[in-house]
Structure 1
Amino acid sequence: MTSTQPKLKVNVSEAFPNRRRGGDIRVCLSPKTVGCTSGFGGFVELQPGEFVSEHYHPYSEEFLYVIEGQLEMTVDGTVITLAPGDSLWIPIGAKHRLVNNTSAPARGVFQLAPLAPRPELGHVDTEPQPNPDSPHPEVGGAK
């Protein structure tokens, strides 16, 4: 790769762990990491009992694909159980909360698009964050 070629590949181990809303969320592909312009995506891991606090995206729809374990996503009050191989679409503006109610870790990949006009407008929290003081970069970044 030359200095004029954009970075195309990011390994999850390079992504900063964001634990602010709960779990281990790692934005791998984003405007900050690879220069993409239409959305961002990454990896989420929840240990038993962990959750991602309720929030919504006023500009983006979200897509979640479960690769391991079992998760429950509550979307606008409706609980949806997800297992490996399941995909879920979360519409723009839908409040959602993700939880692992099992005794085993669960992992998934997510994507959000389109981007909000500015990173700080991308998420609106509707419940307290479990780790509000946890450091996190705006929409991804390297460790």
Structure 2
Amino acid sequence: MTRESNPAEAVQKIALQDVTPNRRRGGDIRVLLSPKTVGSSTGFMGILTLAPGEYVSEHYHPYSEEFLYAVRGTVEARVEDKKLAVGAGEGIMIPKGLRHRVTNTGVDTAVLVFHLCPLAPRPELGHVDTEALPHPDAVGPEVGGR
């Protein structure tokens, strides 16, 4: 029986500790489930960890909506000129094309789950930076999910 005839064969598990962090845009960004890691075709999902005071630099996604869910801690999500406090157990959806930045405003490490969909036509089109990166020379996989 092939994967095509048995879709359950395509199910894969990815462990957070097995994913290399991307720190270029700030914090610890790890894409777990993506076209590159599991062959997804519609979007990607990962974990963002921010120490107190850390942030993910401002950017936007021309093709994707971004969903953020706070598992632990408190962050401020600035979407365009609107600021939203997002605490553990809360989530937000950022419509495609809107500039956004996420900052840990709390005293504890913040952990968020993110999901973006649909995918951009090519990875390099999925993310547009609108401010200087905090760690432009950091080595790690590109966040774009592929």
Fold shared per TM-score above 0.5: yes
Question: Quick check: 1:64 aligned with 2:71?
Answer: no
Identity of aligned residues (%): 53
Q: Where in structure 1 are there 5+ consecutive unaligned residues?
A: none
User: Does residue 1:113 correspond to 2:108, yes or no?
Assistant: no
1:32 aligns to 2:36 (yes or no): yes
Q: Deviations over 1:52-82 (max 9, x none)?
A: 0000000000000000000000001100000
> Could you tell me how far apart the structure 2 residues matched to 1:103 and 1:70 are?
8
Q: CA RMSD in A?
A: 1.7
Query: Which residue is 1:90 aligned to?
Result: 94
Alignment-derived partner of residue 104 in structure 1: 108
1-side partners of 2:141 and 2:54: how far apart? 21
The aligned counterpart of 2:80 is 76
SS in 2 for 1:32: helix
Letter in structure 1 aligned against 2:138: S
The structure whose residues are more often helix, as a share, is 2
Question: Which residues of structure 2 form unaligned runs of 5+?
Answer: 4-8
* Contact kept in structure 1, 2:35 and 2:41, CA below 8 Å: yes
* Residue of structure 2 equivalent to 1:131: 135
TM-score normalized by structure 2?
0.90
Query: How far apart, in 2, do the equivalents of 1:73 and 1:58 lie?
Result: 18
Output the amino acid matched with 2:96: I
Q: How far has the Cα of 1:115 moved from its partner?
A: 0.4
Aligned AA (1:44): L
2-side partners of 1:111 and 1:8: how far apart?
17
TM-score (norm 1): 0.92
Q: Give the C-alpha shift of residue 7 in structure 1.
A: 5.0
Query: What does the per-residue CA deviation read over 1:3-37, in whole Å, with 9 as the maximum and x for residues that have no partner?
Result: 95335211111111010100000000000000000
- Residue in 1 that maps onto 2:6: none
Residue correspondences, number: 140
8 A Cα contact 1:15 1:140, kept in partner: no
Tell me the secondary structure at the aligned position of residue 38 of structure 2. coil
